[in-house]
Amino acid sequence: MLVREEKKPPENWQQRKARIRHRWALPFHALEWVFDGTAYALSRWAFLEVLEYLGILSVLVAVIFYFAESGDRRKQKHYQAWQVINTAQGKGGSGGRIEALQELNDDRQPLVGLDAAGAFLQGVRLDGANLLRCNLEAADLRDSHLAAAELQYANLRVANFRSGDLHLAHLRDASLQDADLVGASLAGADLGSADLEDADLRNTDLAGTLWRDIKSIQGANIYGVRHPPDGFLPWALEHGAKSVPGGPE
């Protein structure tokens, strides 16, 4: 609330002058006396008070419009992020896609059908992202964070997930042929109907992984798999997997 204090009229010049002890200070006191009189005169001008209220009102209106248009600003931000992603499609570098994808996911925007084949996305953080039917073929996703991501029917062939975090990821019906999963975490992930043919699973964490409906593991390297579920290793070797120190043949 605007509080105005009524100004008292300044003393006359003779009274002010009588209180001045040093003659050299006379000009300074005279100037201050003029300013006091001017301030008093303006304080009695209602127009200035109206201007003060209008200034406060304009700030209030600006705040209201700012919040009213927040939805449009967010839509514009998402549109620009998708522009970055689509413009970089088919290119091997990042092209700003890491930041754009993280921004969209942070705002809980679905990334269904994303095409980032061959993209450099090392270290991208897309935990819980909806990447249903995405195309990340041959993408560099080393050290990426895709915990609990929706990756059903995704094309992940030849993708590099080294040391990536895919725990609790939904990989049902995903194509992981020739994918590099060395040192990655697939703990608790759903691999039902996933194709792991020739995938490199060395030192991969498979604790609690749902594996019994895997479509194919032919030629995959399971050397040094960590926390394999009961029955997984003999089943994998029986279905064509290998366990050798080097990569899959």
Nearest to 186 by CA among 209, 203, 202: 209
Same domain, 88 and 18: no
Sorted by sequence, the CB contacts under 8 Å of residue 179 that are 6+ apart come out as 156, 157, 158, 159, 160, 161, 196, 199, 200
Kindly report whether the global pTM for this prediction surpasses the value 0.75. Answer: no
First vs last C-alpha separation in the chain: 78
Model confidence over 70-125: pLDDT tens digits? 656 788 889 899 999 988 887 777 778 999 999 999 999 999 999 999 999 999 99
Q: What is the pLDDT of residue 49?
A: 65
Residues 110, 146: Cα–Cα separation, whole Å: 14
170 beta partners: 150, 190
Same domain, 61 and 81: no
- CATH number for the domain harbouring residue 228: 2.160.20.80
Cα dihedral sign, 211-214-217-220? negative
Same domain, 28 and 62: yes
Domain with 171, as residue range(s), is 72-244
Q: Is residue 1 part of a domain?
A: no
Same domain, 63 and 79: no
Same domain, 200 and 161: yes
Q: Is residue 7 part of a domain?
A: no
Give the chain's domain count: 2
Q: CB burial class (10 A; 0-12, 13-18, 19+) of residue 3? A: exposed
Which residue carries 């201007």 as its tokens?
A: 51
Model confidence over 157-169: pLDDT tens digits? 999 999 999 999 9
